[in-house]
Homo-oligomer: A and B are copies of this chain.
């Protein structure tokens, strides 16, 4: 777990940034493992700890803004943040820009001072540094046999102050990222991809510049999908599926959850799941895309490249990538 903990992401920043399908990673958005000692084993139990993270909000080329774990390393989306139920994250946000901005999380606990909203005067003025505290916890008993839910989930964070009191300009320009709160015992993935459906873009890019996510056959891959902006979307992944519940896996034979391969991904919502790359279907260039027809035609599509188990390219994949790079934005035959 150490390789995966947020506290250690600072020295893993280059790898974890790449893993999020970050803008800086180039046209194909090549991804790499977040950590090394990081197989499909149950998460280790641990007492709740407090981790301190410094995040830098920076202006990027092309009118974009990003969050990063070190100066000069901001990306779109920002770094993937993770914690276990019971942990606390102390986020020191350094605003290196000339804009008012903030960081507002979903799913975790925070006081009004850490709300990240102008409503509560919780934001960074230009050049200002401010600390936001995010807490999490396990489920706890309510009356009867029921439990008030804990914090575990596939969440996200975003600006809530640039442009409008809801951070509309900040979100539009790339100030967003994924936040995972795990329950102890959760299965850890080998690779992680952050996919943000945001107006007509994926991670603020359009095909063929959308991220190409890569894994080897059989690797346990975790997808975190986030919606933003003004439009409705549906996330579809070819040749893979997941349970529409907290983990994406069935809790047992009597788990009643829907199994799906297409899910609404609307502004402010997020979900996550794990698949075994190419399991049962083989390697290849598999599409992920918005299933709204004029969105996919307009560029909301990308490639999930499942390589052979040894990392080599499977037959046909190069040709598919070539087609993708040349044949997007088709609005009619």
Chain A residues within CB distance 8 Å of chain B: 40-42, 100, 106-107, 109-112, 115, 117-121, 135, 137, 139, 142-153, 155, 162-166, 168-169, 171-172, 185, 187, 227-230, 232, 234, 236, 238-239, 241-264, 266-271, 276, 279-282, 284-287, 289, 291-297, 301, 303, 316, 319-320, 323-324, 327-328, 330-333
Q: Which of B100, B149, B294, B320 contacts A241 (CB 8 A)?
A: B149
Which of B111, B271, B281, B320 meets A281, CB within 8 Å? B111
A-B contact pairs, 16 of them (CB 8 A): A106-B262, A115-B286, A118-B327, A144-B187, A146-B187, A147-B249, A164-B297, A165-B328, A227-B234, A243-B256, A245-B258, A246-B257, A250-B256, A251-B256, A267-B292, A268-B291
Q: Contact between B119 and A236 (Cβ–Cβ < 8 Å)?
A: no
Tell which of A40, A244, A262 has the most Cβ of chain B within 10 Å. A262
Q: Which of B41, B109, B169, B250 contacts A280 (CB 8 A)?
A: B109
Q: Please name the residue on chain B nearest to A232 by beta carbon.
A: B232
CA of A163 to CA of B162, assembled, Å: 40
Given contacts A266-B232, A294-B168, contact A187 B143 (CB under 8 A): yes
Q: A153-B260, A256-B255 are contacts. A230–B293 as well, Cβ < 8 Å?
A: yes
Known contacts A165-B327, A239-B110, A297-B168; A258/B153 CB under 8 A: yes
How far is A235 from B10 in the complex, measured between Cα atoms in Å?
34
Q: Is the CB of B241 within 8 A of A332?
A: no
Known: A112-B316, A137-B280, A163-B333. 15 other contacts (CB 8 A): A110-B281, A112-B285, A112-B286, A115-B287, A119-B323, A120-B316, A146-B252, A150-B259, A151-B241, A155-B261, A168-B297, A229-B293, A230-B295, A234-B268, A268-B291
A295 surroundings in chain B (CB, below 8 A): 230
